Amino acid sequence: MGKPPLLRVRMEFLQWSTIALVIVACILNAAHISATAQGEQDPDDTAEETNSYILDKDLPKFGEPIQNLTVPVGREAVLTCVINNLQTYKVAWLRVDTQTILTIQTHVITKNHRMTIAHVEGRAWVLRIRDVKESDKGWYMCQVNTDPMRNQIGYLNVVVPPNILDYPTSTDMVVREGSNVTLKCAASGSPTPSIMWRREGNEPVSAGATSLNSSTFSISRVNRLHMGAYLCIASNGIPPSVSKRVMLIVHFPPMIWIQDQLVGAALGQRLTLECQSEAYPRSINYWMKNDTIITQGKHFDPSIKEINSYKVVMKLTIKDINIADFGTYKCVVKNSLGETDGSIKVYHKNKIYRPPLDEFSSSSNKIMGTGDSSETWSIDGTIEKDRDHRYRDNGASYSEDQREKEAFVDTEGNSHASLHGVFAENGLLICICYALFILTISVR
């Protein structure tokens, strides 16, 4: 006979409840076991940790960190390692990058005679490096031979003042006028030096120069104004700064400037003629008359005054003019690149002098040079040319005025004609409107 349904349901509920309670009990028991295992320690492990703490307390300790140093080359570097409670342990200094043992206790191991070691006040180990070189730069380690090893490190920075290198730095240069020039300067040092260019004597750098604050200094189309001494200056904040002098020499053929090409003088007068010349290499300068070189004497006194390395003022003094002194004088300038001359005509003041058309007036200036640089200006010729142009320009202006007047007349006539046409059209339109108005009234 089967069980009632209600009883069967109750039995199944009790069975499942019992199973759930068993599972919960198992989980709680496992958690308790785990917590107990974590909370408890093996007595041997506890004893070992206690002994380790006691041993660590008795081991040597570093009293202070090693200070990083920055030392100029050639000076002395001092690295200090402070150790407390050293006991019987040993101290050593090592070079980190090369793994080289430098010292052990008070003994120097390395063969570097510039290094010494000292034990100061029982706790400081002082490493000294005399005459420091740039190669001494790097990390240094102070080590105690505990187990495991204890160590600390410090950095030695070696700074080096700038030094200008002979190569590829430029030497004195000789160039032709009009060419392009590049000066170079190279320097070593730590930190890396910066380079700038200046003219000697604080003279201004002429136009065409670029890159004054770099290792290269360029001048396009160099001319005689660029000639002179230039300084390459290297600095990196470590004194002293250094410089190198580079001389730039510009070669060009002679040129002559004459202020007055026609000079009047009276008999017995003292007269001085003058020419200005520029040339480099330095030129030979002299005066001539009738194809004869004029030399120093009682009657003539030629002189030369140097303005700078390439500019010269030539003067010829005639002390007591006589009839034979009237005529044409030449100032001649020549160097290895060419030759040029200029003429000055001396005439008798008491006579009315009428120069030929091909000569210059007394107020004219003349510049003469060799090659492509020869140029001549004539004020008289320019005046004549300008006068012709002025006449032509006036004629052109007159024709243009006439054309403007004719155009104005034509325009005015056309304007009147157009106005009459407008009035005629408007009158016709008014008449038509009036007729329509009358027609409308009549219809009404």
Nearest alpha-carbon partner for 94 in 157, 154, 159: 154
Q: What is the pLDDT of residue 210?
A: 66
What distance in Å separates the CA atoms of residue 85 and residue 88, rounded to the nearest whole number?
9
Nearest alpha-carbon partner for 300 in 316, 284, 315: 316
Which residue, chain included where needed, has tokens 């206790």? Answer: 105
CATH (residue range 61-159): 2.60.40.10
What distance in Å separates the CA atoms of residue 180 and residue 208, rounded to the nearest whole number?
10
- The torsion angles phi and psi of 269, rounded to 5 degrees, stand at -75, 150
| Cβ atoms of residues 154 and 139 within 8 Å | yes
Q: Which residues contact 75 (CB under 8 A, 6 or more apart)?
A: 131, 132
Q: How many of the other CB atoms lie within 10 Å of CB of 226?
A: 20
Q: Burial code of 22-59, b = ≥16 C-beta within 10 A, e = fewer? A: eeeeeeeeeeeeeeeeeeeeeeeeeeeeeeeeeeeeee
432-440 — which CB contacts under 8 Å span 24+ positions? Answer: none
Q: Which residues contact 197 (CB under 8 A, 6 or more apart)?
A: 183, 185, 205, 211, 212, 213, 217, 230, 231, 232, 233
Using CB atoms within 10 Å of the CB of residue 17, give its burial: 0 to 12 exposed, 13 to 18 middle, 19+ buried: exposed
Q: So what's the architecture of 259-348 in CATH?
A: Sandwich (2.60)
What distance in Å separates the CA atoms of residue 381 and residue 371, rounded to the nearest whole number?
23
What distance in Å separates the CA atoms of residue 277 and residue 314, rounded to the nearest whole number?
8
What distance in Å separates the CA atoms of residue 54 and residue 410, rounded to the nearest whole number?
125
- The torsion angles phi and psi of 252, rounded to 5 degrees, stand at -155, 155
Nearest alpha-carbon partner for 278 in 311, 253, 314, 313: 311
Assess whether the region 61-159 and the region 165-252 belong to the same CATH fold.
yes
Strand partners, 57: none
Distance of CA 386 to the CA centre of its chain: 48
Query: How many angstroms separate the Cα of 413 from the Cα of each of 148, 399, 402, 422?
Result: 119, 21, 16, 14
Nearest alpha-carbon partner for 187 in 130, 149, 233: 233
Q: How many CA atoms lie within 13 A of 340 on its CB side?
A: 25
Q: What is the pLDDT of residue 349?
A: 87
Indicate the domain borders of the chain. 61-159, 165-252, 259-348
Using CB atoms within 10 Å of the CB of residue 18, give its burial: 0 to 12 exposed, 13 to 18 middle, 19+ buried: exposed
pLDDT tens-place values along the chain, 444 residues long: 455 666 676 677 667 667 767 676 667 766 666 655 555 545 455 445 444 444 566 799 999 999 999 999 999 999 999 999 999 999 999 999 999 999 999 999 999 999 999 999 889 999 999 999 999 999 999 999 999 999 999 999 999 999 999 999 999 999 999 999 999 999 999 999 999 999 998 887 766 666 678 899 999 999 999 999 999 999 999 999 999 999 999 999 999 999 999 999 999 999 999 999 999 999 999 999 999 999 999 999 999 999 999 999 999 999 999 999 999 999 999 999 999 999 999 999 875 545 555 544 333 444 556 544 433 333 333 333 333 333 333 333 334 444 433 433 343 444 444 444 444 455 556 656 556 666 665 554
Q: So what's the architecture of 165-252 in CATH?
A: Sandwich (2.60)
3-state secondary structure of 278: strand
The answer to pTM > 0.75 is no
Query: How many angstroms separate the Cα of 202 from the Cα of each of 229, 231, 243?
Result: 10, 10, 14
Query: How many angstroms separate the Cα of 21 from the Cα of each of 7, 15, 27, 34?
Result: 21, 10, 10, 20
Q: Residue 130 is encoded by which pair of tokens?
A: 């005399």
What distance in Å separates the CA atoms of residue 14 and residue 305, rounded to the nearest whole number?
136
Q: Cis omega (within 30 of 0) on the bond before 148?
A: yes
Q: Residue 254 is encoded by which pair of tokens?
A: 């002679």
Nearest alpha-carbon partner for 300 in 312, 315, 290, 279: 315
